[in-house]
Structure 1
Amino acid sequence: MSIDRHVVFAGAYGTENTGDDAPLLVMAEGLRRRHPDVRFRFTVLARRADPLIESAAAASFIPNPEYDSREAAAGKWFRGFNFGDDRADLARIDETIRDADLVVAGAGNVLIDLAFDLFRGPIPLLASYAFMADLHRTPLMLYGITAGPIKNPHARTLSAWIARSSAVATCRDEASAELLREIDQGLEIEVHPDPVLALVPASDTRFDAALAREGLTRESSRPRLAVAWRDLDFLGFDRCILIDALRALSEEYALLFIPQTTGPDGDDRELAQEIVASLGDAEVRAVTHRHSPEVLMRFYELAEVTLAARLHGAVFSTCSGTPVAALAYLPKVSSFMETVGLSASCVDIEDATAASLVAAVGRARQVDGARLASRTQRVGEAVSAYLEHASTLLRLDDRASPRPHHADRKNELRVGDSSGLFGTRWRSRSSPS
């Protein structure tokens, strides 16, 4: 007799950010490998459609309540939350969560209040999903999340409620767990490594095809420095620091820019073009196409060392056995570098100078790549804890759920209107009946 399970994923999907997309692939592929006899159906709540990741994860994407752009969102709450809005998409989300066996929220920066209002920003968005999950007795799992900064008092209260409402709450760094425990000392938070460490790299055949598409070869006449950078203007970081560092490093290395995000909310390829224009006659190449996470990871194999501000540029690089020097613009970066034993080549953004970045690259270059890959693999083995929790909440493992009442409630008799939170009387006239 076949077993069917429906999992809903809620995170920063549909933004073309490789670091946000990769955890979806890890969980989806991991569950399929762990339970080959189960027919899984994966639904992803996403800002935009994304055929590349939809195909890679064998999942269905449906619109979440976010607007497509900051301009469209100006002065508004989430779609469906404003007076006169069409609530068809919101009703579909509610019905999807109602009919699911598990909601997986994350991984990534889901509890952060850089943007926060009653129905604006990542925390209220996750709270709306948590409310629907609790209403419909569908267990919620916080999956390798990062928390912070959370300074707004209401955001802190709401974040604690979300964590309390979850059947399992996991963070990918100790600083996030400590912050949540500081907000509410009664919270049960587990810490496990970044789930992306368990991403299975693409085959040689697929990687060779990607190299041909980019016009790159595995060999290079000069050692390569991979650059995985992001725009840090919002933190007041002086880009000249990076440019001066790359000018100095280009005397020894050929530079290879690898974009971790390619979407309209921020395209690393555009940033790379701006930086390259300031580097004069340095030898520079850039990856210019979008690639699925398991393919993009392998581009770091081409380099001797990586300079990263992107967290998952650092993660992909260590998985490939390429040492990393990183700029810690948030605690999640320094936490990861400590986890894989590379704290010596991590520079805090407050202390960053061109000289300190160059020196960090030099220290990273001394790290043995094979040992780094082996150490990263050992750390990544702990990622299995995420799959164990998901399997338990899906009632696919024998051991008891850590909070059984959440899993048990799903099979209790439901009370009230089975049409969902947004029943017929709540839908707009243009919504489907």
Structure 2
Amino acid sequence: MTLSHIDLTNPDNFLDGTPHEWLNELRNEDPVHWHEGSSGAAFWCVTKWEDLRHVSRNPALFSSQRRGTNMPNPRMEEMMRKHAEQEGAAGVMAEMQKQAQGAEPGGFPIMLMMDPPRHVKFRRLVQRSFTPRYVSGLEPHIRELARSIVDGVVEKGSCEFVTEVASELPLQVICEMMGVPEEDRHEIFEISNRMIGFDDPELGEDQSERAMASIGMFAKATKVAELYRENPQENLTSFLLHRDIDGEKLSETEYAAFFLLLCVAGNETTRTVTSNGMKLLIDHPDQLQRLVDDPSLIPSAVEEILRFEPAVHHFRRTATQETEIRGRTIKEDDPVLIWYPAANRDEEVFEDPERFDVGRHPNEHLSFGIGEHFCLGASLARLELNAIFDEIVPRLRNPELAGPVRRLRSNFINGVKEMPVRFDPGKRSAS
């Protein structure tokens, strides 16, 4: 079965949103499908809920470390090596490239691209700051921030929702947790945009420029480290600089990789879910009215938004040995891409999966992953999403689109770049 009309390697095919029809077709007709796209990349597409769980929970068979977690892009890697020195991050990039190519044991120093036991050691280093118990202590401040963000737009009756609402809460929270000075936070936002949007020409004049801009995050990590190396404070940067793994401090590269992962993942994904959630509520006014009438449904609405439009389209794993999924032979070193939007609409798991239902229960979506790489920040993301929609639903009344929605050109992140929204003008909060 070829299904040759489907091309998931071309980011242009995601400009109108996730190609759910294609993913549904793959899941229903060939759920473990060898896909050869126009970019020259070839890989297995895994689209069933149970199969995605199987791949995710077996890192000994399906490695994050061996070849990374994204579609391979040799041209981009070469550009990054060539231009890293221009951004003052040559040492960090050289070490990353050397480790990624297997010149040193342990693999790529970003936790997302590690396997056990190394992944376990690195995750334990920071997981205490993301436990439900710890995150619950942040709730009053996060809710205060959410209220202030909506206060900033409610009287106007319109806003550019992505930059004025969706991006602000996760950006401010993760930057506070990392100890990033306030004057540097929106630069973190801009760098993050270019990092996840390297396939989008609007984020730079050419692909090289967009890729190189991401290296600025390493320079930013170095700048923030200098604030706390001799004067540690109560933040994650200080924690990373002064804790050790197996008796050794993090290397410059390991610290920079942690900084990059936490800053980017900590703001981009929640911003994306918030934007897509607002679009879903505008497109489904009956479901929005259910929330207006019964705000106790907002937590289940957040889970349904996560299921219906997950922030991440796919992650890659690499087979460490020959194995089988549904009778298909996966050879050693074959790339295996797991597609979250497809698994989240599996008819064998979700009743009427194409229906957006803010009261859906149960809702066993896989948008935060499962297994070793279950999203470290899931509790924080859920709190941020609940806090912002608790403000949006009752205060931005009768919302509608005020212009075209402009989406990120990406087959990796389900991103929204711009979404003008108008609503009934309201009042600022009394506090």
Which structure shows the bigger proportion of residues in helix conformation? 2
Which structure shows the bigger proportion of residues in strand conformation? 1
Please, what TM-score do these two structures have when normalized by structure 2?
0.25
Please, what TM-score do these two structures have when normalized by structure 1?
0.25
Answer 1 or 2: higher relative contact order, Cα 8 Å, separation at least 6: 2
